Structure 1
Amino acid sequence: MVNLNILLRGQSNAFLLGAFNGGILVSRVQSLLGFDGVNDTVTLEYQHDAPGGNTVYSGTSFLTEWVSLTAAGWQVGAQEQGLLNYINSLPAAQKAQPTAVVWLHSEYDSAFSALTPALWESGVRYDAALVRGAFGQSAATLPYLFVSAIPYNGGSGTGHQAIRAGMEELSADPAFNAGIAARIQDADMTWDNPTAFGGSHMSFEDQRVAAIRIAASLAEEWAPYAKPGSPVALSGGNIDNLGPQVIAATVSAPNQLMLKVQFDAASSLAALDPAAAQGVGWTIFGPDGKATDGGAAALAIGTPDTMYVSFNGLIPAGAKLFYGWGNGRLEASNGSGQGHAVYDNAGMPIWVDAHGLAVGGGAAIAAASVTSGANVSVDAAGGNYAASAAAENWVIRPDSGHAVIEGFDPAVDTLTFTGIARESLITWQTSATPGLGIAWNTGEGYVTLPGVGAVPESHILLA
């Protein structure tokens, strides 16, 4: 007989997950391990708003109310003492059982815009020493599994990113023994108001998705306890709990990157939903700190680990790629978040190291501007064009490169797509230079029309 314990940590979102989806978390782990829930069990160690001490308490900052840094070093706060009281109240036999800390605590701390990964990590290391000591266990036997900082509407971009980076740095330290249990940036955040996306709290469905992803990480952590014939045992102890990581980003066009991913236990990227195809979540930062957002994305044909992302501006030398930087919620035009990540064929979301991924291949250099005539063909090199005052027809072939057309007049100018299906066209509003972007053939090429809001259907021709 085996019992495994989940110590759930955090503030209000941890409360909601424990109260409304804690059962799903437990049952999912048991199912993955082949436990019957009677002889072999998983127990959720979770308590909220109790006088004796809690694992979860709403509206609290970890770095100020659980622990706090003083001139004398880190100090135990009231909430941390309550957590230690809770652990000390557990039966000795239970404290000795395999236990994993599941950490959702990031909301209030993400509001600290000057927060650094090092400061956050230091506080967590202090906490872990206390928690492991109270259990009478070591780092080797009591892991910390983090839910990457959730998209809290009251947080700062730099605060969110510092926490995510700190989580990844602790996870990279084998002596600390931690991992990323789940990423949940594809969240609606509508618990407080079902019609208002992007609030402070995960919806019930957000919580359920988070619970399922956390369960996969817990089950893999506890793979040695998996029963013969269970999903974890049949997979050799490696199930898809991490999702696809972007490991290379190479300039493939002036505004485009080719991304290569490394799969965990999946085999391909899944088809993109409309929001993901619009490049939601992708950002590049240049050395000067200027951010440029994605404008279109597409999977490579015949290469399951490759995709392309087009951006609303040129890619500078020394750029870094991010996915879901800052608050990071993957928001579609209607405000929703669920389903809008790039996923692998097992349903796990893509991710980029929180420190950013250096872009390879050098800076993209645009061709010199040229003045065009009545009919202009955009060749494979693409380039910058300056339209004349006369009406012009811009001819786009499947192999045409990226073109920036300054002075395009949608009242008189036309775009002719030759050998390109109308349904393959993707349009979006660019952000770096306000205007219209149009991509074709799953993002292989695109044209940017600065200052243009829309092109009438009658001026988009097919040949």
Structure 2
Amino acid sequence: MNLNVLLRGQSNAFLLGLFNGEAMANRVESLLGFDGVNDTVTLEFAHDSATGNTVYSGTSFLTQWVNPAPTGGWQVGELEQGLLNYVASIPAAQKAQPTAVVWLHSEYDSIQGNLTPAYWESAVRYDAALVRAALGQSAATVPYLFVSALPFNWGTGTGHQAIRTGMEELAADPAFNAGIAARIQDVNMNWDNPAILGGSHMSFEDQRVASIRIAASLAEEWAAYAKPGSPVALAGGNIDNLGPQVIAASVSAPNQLMLKVQFDAASSLAPLDPTAAQGVGWTIFGPDGKAIDGGAAALAIGVPDTMFVSFNGLIPAGGKLFYGWGNGRLEARDGTGQGHAVYDNASLPIWVDAHGLAIGATAAVAAASVTAGGSTAVGAAGGSFAATAAVENWVVQPGSGRAVIEGFDAAVDTLTFSGIDRASLITWQTSATPGLGIAWNLDGGEVILPGVTALPDSHILIA
């Protein structure tokens, strides 16, 4: 088995590929339990190559890779043709293997202050159709994994945000098959001169952190290929690669919001560093377009999924919350960016949908990943799951939070409770969501099976 990583972008993609690309591929192999000999992950990355390029420094995707056609739509530019030539040069057997496109191309395009998500998305859809055709594959086996627009010192706030929004909208389209591989606003951006922060290029440490986050997303994308006993297999195919999403923001004081997060595969927010505790990165835009920045932040005591953010002004009615809007670099007073996000206990940064979260509303949260035909772990974060048509075993860990499993088939699917006394199980018919409820402790541990009326004893297992 071989899996391909096609790395795309301009100079930051070049630096990451050159100095951290192989380490990233090796990390994916480790997470999947590949031996690097019989089962491999291959980095497809070229710059200044005679056979074409996957990255090229100082270039705009929207004007130099593809560009607007005179009659509407898009046409192939010189650099895009070079990419397609490179893909054509890959040996046929390898070209037919699963390939993930890792996209770090946002910098020069973010300069366009009038850029819209729809315009950017249309160009990426055009590109994806060409690349997938060149590989001889479909969207199902060639996902696009985006690195959310990097903080680029020449970029505009609206340009950055349009690209991030476009990325998230493509990731929300199942037919396109995409995801956010990494959010990396906690960066120094000082490759060119270590003493000058907030520049155009990620430092080596910025690149290293980005490569670790990308590797986690690649490994989860390819969970179906994970070897038994590998980190991905042991996690039931769901490792922490997304970070905590803010799903609700409610007014807790005239200038303060209480935020609720949903974890991916983590269980709590990590202690805030001094910069994060100053509210760096948080912004509210009112209906009039005026911005109010964060002034202080603190974690809720004893509630791992809750925090409070105070703002330098009153919370406006009809406002929307953002984190890292625009350029978005999480800058401390000394100019550094590394380590200054709000993190979960797996060191992944918090995020808010790029469209903004309406204050008082609850964000739509995607169902957690499920390993079809295998076992899926329900951990401390609980969460929302959607079963597949295959026979599945749901492994409930001790201390699990509230989980909802849509599509659970009581005739074939099973629940395995790990470290939980069978005698402590309590079942009932739920009313708010008609179905079967099963609880096992007084700390909120419960599983809701919508549409299920009863579960045979033989389908409740104790590990």
For 2:259, what is the secondary structure of its paired residue?
strand
For 1:252, what is the secondary structure of its paired residue?
strand
- Aligned twin of 2:32: 33
Rounded to whole Å, the distance in 2 between the matches of 1:232 and 1:58 is 34
Deviations 1:269-306 (A, max 9, x none): 00000000000000000000000100000000010000
CA RMSD between the two structures: 0.7
Runs of 5+ consecutive residues of structure 2 not aligned to the other structure = 362-463
Question: Does residue 11 in structure 1 map to residue 3 in structure 2?
Answer: no
Rounded to whole Å, the distance in 1 between the matches of 2:223 and 2:114 is 39
Q: How does 1:6-405 map to 2 (within 5 A)?
A: 6-72=5-71, 73-360=73-360
Q: Could you tell me whether the CA contact under 8 Å between 2:295 and 2:309 is conserved in 1?
A: yes
Deviations 1:406-444 (A, max 9, x none): xxxxxxxxxxxxxxxxxxxxxxxxxxxxxxxxxxxxxxx
Q: Which amino acid aligns with 1:304?
A: P
For 2:140, what is the secondary structure of its paired residue?
coil
Q: 1:69 Cα deviation (Å)?
A: 1.1
| TM-score of the superposed pair, with normalisation by structure 1 | 0.77
Q: 1:141 Cα deviation (Å)?
A: 1.1
Q: Could you tell me whether the CA contact under 8 Å between 2:51 and 2:89 is conserved in 1?
A: no
- Aligned twin of 1:368: none
For 1:123, what is the secondary structure of its paired residue?
helix
Rounded to whole Å, the distance in 2 between the matches of 1:248 and 1:68 is 39
For 2:141, what is the secondary structure of its paired residue?
coil
Q: Which amino acid aligns with 1:343?
A: Y
Rounded to whole Å, the distance in 1 between the matches of 2:79 and 2:335 is 35
Rounded to whole Å, the distance in 2 between the matches of 1:229 and 1:176 is 31
Q: Could you tell me whether the CA contact under 8 Å between 2:32 and 2:231 is conserved in 1?
A: yes
Q: 1:38 Cα deviation (Å)?
A: 1.0
Q: 1:71 Cα deviation (Å)?
A: 3.0
Rounded to whole Å, the distance in 2 between the matches of 1:58 and 1:19 is 13
For 1:274, what is the secondary structure of its paired residue?
coil
Q: Which amino acid aligns with 1:289?
A: G
Q: 1:39 Cα deviation (Å)?
A: 1.1
Rounded to whole Å, the distance in 2 between the matches of 1:128 and 1:242 is 23
Q: 1:70 Cα deviation (Å)?
A: 2.5
Rounded to whole Å, the distance in 1 between the matches of 2:22 and 2:128 is 26
Deviations 1:301-341 (A, max 9, x none): 01000000000000110000000000000000100000000
Q: Could you tell me whether the CA contact under 8 Å between 2:31 and 2:230 is conserved in 1?
A: yes
Runs of 5+ consecutive residues of structure 1 not aligned to the other structure = 362-463
Rounded to whole Å, the distance in 2 between the matches of 1:229 and 1:265 is 18
Rounded to whole Å, the distance in 1 between the matches of 2:69 and 2:322 is 34
Rounded to whole Å, the distance in 2 between the matches of 1:285 and 1:202 is 29
Rounded to whole Å, the distance in 1 between the matches of 2:316 and 2:50 is 56
Deviations 1:164-223 (A, max 9, x none): 000000000000000000000000001001011100000000000000000000000000
Q: Which amino acid aligns with 1:56?
A: V
Aligned residues: 360
For 1:322, what is the secondary structure of its paired residue?
strand
Q: 1:50 Cα deviation (Å)?
A: 1.6
| TM-score of the superposed pair, with normalisation by structure 2 | 0.77
Higher Cα Rg: structure 1 or 2? Answer: 1
Q: Which amino acid aligns with 2:221?
A: E
For 1:140, what is the secondary structure of its paired residue?
helix
Q: 1:52 Cα deviation (Å)?
A: 2.5
Rounded to whole Å, the distance in 1 between the matches of 2:25 and 2:88 is 23
Q: 1:346 Cα deviation (Å)?
A: 0.5
For 2:269, what is the secondary structure of its paired residue?
coil
Q: Which amino acid aligns with 1:33?
A: L
Rounded to whole Å, the distance in 1 between the matches of 2:157 and 2:49 is 33
Deviations 1:108-145 (A, max 9, x none): 00000000000000000000000000000001111000
Rounded to whole Å, the distance in 2 between the matches of 1:50 and 1:44 is 15
Rounded to whole Å, the distance in 1 between the matches of 2:153 and 2:48 is 24
Rounded to whole Å, the distance in 1 between the matches of 2:27 and 2:194 is 26
Rounded to whole Å, the distance in 2 between the matches of 1:71 and 1:248 is 45
Q: Which amino acid aligns with 2:11?
A: S
